[in-house]
Structure formats: structure tokens, C-alpha cells
Amino acid sequence: MIVHIFYIYLTSFLCERKEILAKTNFNMIKSFRIEFKVRSYECDSYGHVNNAAYLNYLEYARMSALAEIGFNLDNMKEKGYLAVIRRIEIDYKFPLFMNDLVEIRTFVNELKNSSGTFTQQILNKTKQQLAAEAKVTWVFINLKGKPIAIPEEIRAAFNFKKL
């Protein structure tokens, strides 16, 4: 029931964003969520979360998503590959403040041969606001740093089939 409600919400949210909608197959979306409270040391002299802290939040959410499907940096290295970030675009909407309850939603909305894109939403659950949204492009590489095809086990874990 909760998954179905979230699917409806996500579908309506994505419909407002044509650039994401055009690349999204709703039958394949697998989403992930984490929650935490803003800590005092993440805030700057303006009293809100420093913009650089958002990168840490996003990284934490992506690593949590990978862990949820059974992957981490150590086991990917053992298998001879890594996923590295190529580009991050962040749109800041509203500030976060100390003790705000934050939820980060992460989902893969595109997979190509060796790269893919996560969309990540940082929500202020305290105020029910979208605080920021990021588009994160990543690429799979071998341990020598050369791009490789996304491993089939990763595609399967994210419910994406090779086209």
C-alpha cells in the first residue's frame, strides 16, 4: 500500500518535469528513502545548512541506496568495478535549518551503456517542502579508471533491463 501511494506521488511529481518524464519508464523505477535530522555543525554563519553539506547528504543517500540492494564500495572493488560521479546539478529551493527532519528520495531515472542518472530530492519533512533537487550522473569504471558497461547484476538490482 505505501509503495503504491509513493508510486502515485512519484508519477504525479515526475509528470511536472517533462525532461525526466521523457526518460523514465515507470515500470522500472526503484526508489530509496533515508531520514535524518540536520546537525548543528552542518549549518553556516547564516544559520542554515551550508550548500556544500548537501553534497554529503546526497552521497550518504546514494551509498544507502546501494547498500539496500546489496552493494558497497568494497564488494564492487572485489568484482573489479566502481561507480564514480561525473556530474552533479543541484537546484536549491528552500533552506534547511538545525534539527529539521530531512528525507532524501533517490531513484535511477536513466541507465545507458556505462552511465546513468540518479534524481535525488531533499525534503524538509518538518515543513513539508522540497529543499533541493539534484541530478547526478555517474559512470561505471574498471579499477584502472576506464569506462565499462554497467554490470548486469547492477541493472537487475535497480530493475533496469538492457535496451
> What structural domains and CATH numbers belong to the chain?
32-157 (3.10.129.10)
Per-residue tens of pLDDT for the chain, all 163 residues: 444 434 434 444 444 443 443 344 444 567 899 999 999 999 999 999 999 999 999 999 999 999 998 999 999 999 999 999 999 999 999 999 999 999 999 998 888 999 999 999 999 998 999 999 999 999 999 999 999 999 999 888 887 665 5
Catalytic residue among 44, 74, 91, 100, which?
A: 44
Question: What is the per-residue pLDDT for 93?
Answer: 97
Long-range pairs, 113-121, Cβ under 8 A, ≥24: 113/149, 113/150, 114/139, 114/140, 114/147, 114/148, 114/149, 114/150, 115/86, 115/139, 115/140, 115/147, 115/150, 116/150, 117/23, 118/62, 118/65, 119/20, 120/58, 120/61, 120/62
Give pLDDT, residue 110.
87
Check residue 109 and give its pLDDT.
Answer: 86
pLDDT at 135: 97
What's this model's pTM, rounded to 2 decimal places?
Answer: 0.78
Q: pLDDT value at position 157?
A: 85
91 is catalytic: no
The pLDDT of residue 97:
97
